Structure formats: structure tokens, C-alpha cells
Amino acid sequence: MTDIPPKYNPKEVEDRLYSFWESQSFFSAKPNPSKEPFCIVIPPPNITGILHMGHALNNTIQDILIRFKREKGFETLWVPGTDHAGIATQNMVEKKIAERGLKRQDLGREAFLEEVWKWRQNYGNTIINQLKRLGSSCDWERIRFTMDEGLSNAVLEAFVRLYNKGLIYKGNYIINWCPRCQTALSDEEAPYQEVEGKLYYILYPFKEVKSEKLKVKGGKQKRQGVIVATTRPETMLGDVAVAVHPKDRRYKKLIGSKVILPLMEREIEIIADTIVDPNFGTGAVKVTPAHDPYDFEISKRHNLKALKIMGPDGSMNENAGPYKGLDRFKAREEIIRDLEERNLLLKTEKHIHSAGHCYRCHTIIEPYLSEQWFVRMKPLAKPAIEVVKKGNIKFHPARWTKVYLNWMENIKDWCISRQIWWGHRLPVYYCRKCTKQANGLKAQGSRLKGRGENEKGVIISKICPEKCQGCNSTDIYQDEDVLDTWFSSWLWPFSVFGWPKSTADLDYFHPTSVLVTAPEIIFFWVARMIMAGLEFTGKIPFKDVYIHGTVRDLTGAKMSKSLGNIIDPIDIIEEFGADALRFSMISITATGQDVFLSREKFELGRNFANKVWNASRFVLMNLKQSKEQRAKSKELGLSLADKWILSRLHRTINAVTRSLDNYRFNEAANTIYEFFWHEFCDWYLELTKPEIGLEEKQCILFTILENSLKLL
């Protein structure tokens, strides 16, 4: 803004411009039983986060909805907050103390957590402040955090209830393990990505074949052993069998015979299992129960023991013989070299396959056998499928319904324990005496727990029990693990209102009205909230789910720090203004479509904001009357132009309302843009200039301006 005319008093105009914002009491909605409320809970961004364009889009949409409903006279509430982001935050703080040469183990659990809370104190509000800068009209008095006392209480309550219903169990299974973060992850936290790897063909010689005599040439190989194909040769150290399809002619006769596991020189059996696809590789699969989920299944069917060859950090352990201590990828190299030396590596071919990656640090995850806690999901999914099928919860655009249902119908149990320190610690306690006994029995092979049965010496309780109910011992300790962050997020729509306590807020604002989020969050959060809502409150948590597109750069890549293609919303706010940012985003984002951003695209909003500013300035600088006087001069003769612009205004109001009712935000934005710029400014304002001194003209100008700003 340069060259402001001298007669124009910027302060005065600004005061006028914003006066009607202030005249409305937006915030701190209170339960008002006589009115139907409109309520949104913000998808809690994580406390390590900084505002990115996805947030900007998401919050702008919510802000539009909430302001729209306010304008329509609803009692509105928009609850903001953050989640504690267990793994991400812990990584952040670990990095910070590493600068002092410390590991979290050096500090110990308690001192480390103090560091985390300190970190949160200093940095945890960054994103909240950024949301404020964006202009989100949340109820900032009500800001919530998943580690707050009330919300933590809800987490423990939920765990105990599910456990008592037999919906939480502990078990030894293959889970996704991040060797860098050294914790278990849920399936959703380990998204599959394509990796260019290799498929190694390895000969497992028959028992009778002396390995020193091996001469591998041409067709002779088959007579000397079985060839298996693998992408992860290092796991062969933990092989306990070779599996073939029972009907595979090539191998039928071999079932039951033995081969020698190379390098380890162990005897393993050839077994038959229908899970094996005869058309892949050689049709023979090495079976590594401790390091592959499907091999684990096979091992259960054939009663094979699982042999773990890797430690939690992804390095080889004492079962790996000479490879002990090597990192998994280093071990792979050495094993390949050793196999080559022995003429056992027959072929290597390029192979593109998918591997899970840690969603926090992008390390390739390791399928890893370990004892974890799980939520049994099928029973929770059933009612959550029904409410969507019945239309009690609607997705916008509707196509996401199918995605949701498909996932829900194939849902797997949810691994909820994490081997980190920052988070809600499991409300699980053990009596040292009883568990010792139980472990003794386990070692003798007796089966101790069934589905939902209490393991001996295990106490599930929100508070630490004073003594063991079994043996009265007071030697009690708590499980070391914490819960998946999403185990607190899935309670969000009612935990923010005080659940499990029954509160007036909960009664009035829950279920909420609409949930606005990105597609990748459907599984993480939306589906789980629906399940939790039905399970714990008996109600759906929201009626509408609006799924907006993903923000991408011009090449279509998702914006991410690692790609370096981020456009920082704060930069845009500083250069163009928050209104320009928000208006641009909305007007270029078609319903549910991904949005491809570049810096230049924000010029659209900047230019429009500038137009609005100048038009407002022009109207207000010519205004002579007070608001009260203007109200008095209502009944005036209207010219054709006056009637025209007023009719266009009302048409615009109707069109914008209709668009917003149908979640068609870009349409609404473009409607008001078109009206304000090309009808109001280009025509009416110009037409009025000669008569600007007339009271009735000023009156109409002000009316149009005020209503346009309200629409905007």
C-alpha cells in the first residue's frame, strides 16, 4: 500500500472496516439447549508440526464452515488442539539432547520426560500460533492437548473398558518394527513404498550333497538342491523350512525331505503350504517365521519354531553366527559374498517390490516378532460399517465411502503398544511374583491365556494397584510401553468435552457436525473415531465427513520437507496476506480434487484482497453519515442501477449459500469474486461516482460492501 491520499485517514477506515467483526461475539460458545449447535473439532495437528499448506487448506475450509454457520445464527463451536505425537516428539527431543552428547537412556525415563515437557512448553504452541495467524476463528479458550489430564483419563478409561470386554489382548506376533525409532508401528504407520531391490536365487543343497563338491552348472542344480528366491537374503539365517505348493509337480516328491541351510549348515525340512504361489520365483519359499508375517503364519500351521536373528536395532544377534553384530544391510552384503564364494548364489535379478517405511523417519521397517498389545478391531468395525451404510454418516465427496468401507471390511487388529517413553503409559501392571510363576509355567509349555483372559499376575487398572489380588504381594510394576498416539486421537470428539464424565458440553456439542480432513487420514483417524464414538458413547462422532484434496507442487508431488518443495504458508502470509492465501487456496481447489500449488497462484487472492481493500476505502472515505442516520434514510427512491446491484447482491447471497451448503467452496469463492469485482466495482461503483455525494447512494454502497464482506 503506497501513496495514500491525504484526505484519507487509514486508522478511521480500518476501524470502520473491522467494526462489525468486533460487534459479534464469536467465541466461547456455551451450551444453549434451545438451539441446535454447529460444532467442529479440529484435526489436532501434532505439536512438533509447523503449519504447512495442507493445514492451511484444512483450516480455511473449517473456518469457512464455522463462520458461515455463525452468520446463519447457529450456536457454533470450533475446538482447537494438538496431539502429543509420541514418536515424532520423542525423536525431536532426542535430537536435541544429542547435541549435548546424551541419549535418552542416559537421562532415564523421568528426566527425559521432563525434557519433553520443557520442549513442549517452548515449541509445542508453534502451530497453534500459526493457526491464529492464518485467521482461524477457533474457540481459543478451549484449546486441548491429548496429554492433558482430562484427555489422558479418557485414554485410560477406554483401554480398561476395551480390555474388560476382551477387545484388547497381548500377544507375540510379527509387527512393523522401525529399527531406527526402535518401536512397533501399526500397519497404517508403515506405508508401503516401491523399492528397487534384487531378487536373489539361492541354492539350498540336499542333505546328501556334500557342499564342497557342488559344481553349479546348467540343469544340474535341480539335482543338487532346491533353489529359493528372496529379496532379503539376510533373513535366511533364521530359516526353519522351505515351503512349496503341495500340488507343484516339480517339488511334490521332495516334500518331507531335508535340505541344508547354507552358511548356517543347519538341516531344514521341505514342507507344503497352499499359500505358496508356484508361479513366483522358483516356487520354493524360504520360511523365516520371526522375520516375515506370512512365514510366521506358515510356521504356526506347521508347528515350526521362530528363530530371531536380529535385535531391535536391526543388527544381527547371536543366532546369526558369524554375522553377529552386523547391521542388516551390511549382513546382506556379506551373505551375498559368502554365497557367491560357495557357488550357491545362482542368479540375481532386478526386482521392484514394496517395502514398509516408517512414517516418521522413512527407515525401511523390519517385520519383527515381538510381544505387543492389540485391539481386536472386527467387533468395533461392524457397527461403524453400518452407520455409514445407513447414511447416518456421509462422506463428501461420496466416493470416499467405498474407500472407507473397503478398509473397514478388511480391517486387521491394531497394534497399539509403542516402545517409546513419550505418551500415555499402558494402564497395565504386573505382580512380579505371579508373573515369575506364570513364566515358569509358560516355559513348561502350558497355555496360559485365551482370548481376553487375564494372564496371571497382570492387573489392568487406571491407577496403580497397591497389591496383587492373587497373592497380596506389593511388588508391582507398570508396563514400560506407551500407547499409539492415535489411541488418544480416536477419542478426540468426546474426550475434549470431558468424557467419561458426563458434562453439559458433551451433552450439547456431541455428536459434532462435520469433520474436515485429508484422504490419508481416513484410516488413521476418521474410521477409528467412528468406531470409538459408537463403542464408548453409543453415538456417531459427527454427521458429515468432508475430505479435501492433497496439496501438491506443480509436478504432482506431495509437499514435504524431504523433497524440499514446500511452500511455507507463513511466507505467503507475509508476502501476500492471510486473506490472499486463504482466498487463493479456496478458489483454486475444486471439491475433493487435489490442489497443485505454486507461489504465483497466490497472486489471485492478493489482487482480489487489494481490490476489496480499495473498494472499501473508496466507499468508507465518502461516507458522511453514522450508521444510525443511514438506518433512518431507508425509504429512498431507487434508480435502475440501484435495483440492479441490490438484486445481484441477493442473487449472490443465495448462490454462495447454496454452494457452501453443498461443500462447494471454490464455487462460492468464485461467485463472490465475480460479483464484487465485475459487478460491484466495475459497474456500480463507477456508475455511482458522479452521485457519490447523495445519501441514498452512500447507503446502498455501504449495504453492498458490508454484505459482501460478510459473505467473504
Partner RNA sequence: GGGCGAUUAGCUCAGUUGGCUAGAGCGUUGCGCUUACAUCGCAAAGGUCACAGGUUCGACCCCUGUAUCGCCCACCA
Q: Which residues inside 409-448 make contact with RNA, applying CB under 7 A?
A: 410
Look at strands 595-597 and 551-553 and give their pairing: parallel
Sheet containing strand 458-460, edge to edge, reads 458-460, 428-431, 476-478
Q: How far apart are CA 323 and CA 328, in angstroms?
A: 9
Residues 195-214 touching RNA, rule: CB under 7 A, are 199
Nearest distance from C-beta of residue 154 to RNA, angstroms? 28
Q: How far apart are CA 316 and CA 324, in angstroms?
A: 5
DSSP string for 582-632: HHHHHHH--TT--EEE-GGGGHHHHHHHHHHHHHHHHHHHT--S-HHHHHH
DSSP string for 681-698: IIIIIHHHGGGTTSHHHH
Nine-digit cell at 466?
A: 497397591
Nearest distance from C-beta of residue 476 to RNA, angstroms? 38
Q: Which is nearer to RNA, 118 or 689 (CB)?
A: 689
Q: Which is nearer to RNA, 20 or 280 (CB)?
A: 280
Q: Select the span of 157-165, 509-517, 586-594, 639-647 touching RNA (CB under 7 A).
A: 586-594
Nine-digit cell at 408?
A: 473397514
In angstroms, what CA-CA distances link 384 with 237, 413, 522, 527?
43, 15, 13, 8
Among 35, 207, 378, 399, binds RNA (CB under 7 A): 399
Residue 604 engages RNA in binding (rule: CB under 7 A) = yes
Nearest distance from C-beta of residue 146 to RNA, angstroms? 23
Nearest distance from C-beta of residue 153 to RNA, angstroms? 32
Number of H helices, E strands in the chain: 26, 25
Q: Are the C-beta atoms of residues 482 and 420 closer than 8 Å to each other?
A: yes
Nearest distance from C-beta of residue 577 to RNA, angstroms? 9
Residue 464 engages RNA in binding (rule: CB under 7 A) = no
Q: Select the span of 52-60, 129-137, 347-355, 478-486 touching RNA (CB under 7 A).
A: 347-355
Residue 281 engages RNA in binding (rule: CB under 7 A) = yes
Q: What is the DSSP letter of 150?
A: H
Nearest distance from C-beta of residue 51 to RNA, angstroms? 22
Residue 53 engages RNA in binding (rule: CB under 7 A) = no
Residue 79 engages RNA in binding (rule: CB under 7 A) = no
Q: Select the span of 97-105, 126-134, 466-474, 583-591 touching RNA (CB under 7 A).
A: 583-591
Total interface residues for RNA by CB under 7 A = 74
Nearest distance from C-beta of residue 54 to RNA, angstroms? 13
Q: How far apart are CA 540 and CA 387, in angstroms?
A: 8
- Which single residue is written with the C-alpha cell 509355567? 441
Residues 548-577 touching RNA, rule: CB under 7 A, are 554, 556-557
Length of the chain: 712
Backbone angles phi, psi at 595, to 5 degrees: -120, 130
Residues 500-519 touching RNA, rule: CB under 7 A, are 519
Half-sphere exposure of 104 (CA within 13 A, CB side): 20
Residue 280 engages RNA in binding (rule: CB under 7 A) = yes
Query: Pseudo-torsion of CA 154, 463, 376, 353, nearest 10°?
Result: 90
Query: Pseudo-torsion of CA 373, 377, 379, 385, nearest 10°?
Result: 160
Nearest distance from C-beta of residue 144 to RNA, angstroms? 28
Residues 466-485 touching RNA, rule: CB under 7 A, are none
Nearest distance from C-beta of residue 362 to RNA, angstroms? 13
Among 16, 510, 606, 630, binds RNA (CB under 7 A): 606
Contact pattern for RNA over residues 227 through 266, marking x by CB under 7 A? -xxxxx----------------------------------
What single-letter amino acid sits at 593?
Q
Residue 599 engages RNA in binding (rule: CB under 7 A) = no
Residues 647-676 touching RNA, rule: CB under 7 A, are 662, 664, 666-667, 670
Residue 160 engages RNA in binding (rule: CB under 7 A) = no
Q: How far apart are CA 377 and CA 402, in angstroms?
A: 19
Q: Select the span of 110-118, 125-133, 187-195, 386-394 touching RNA (CB under 7 A).
A: 187-195
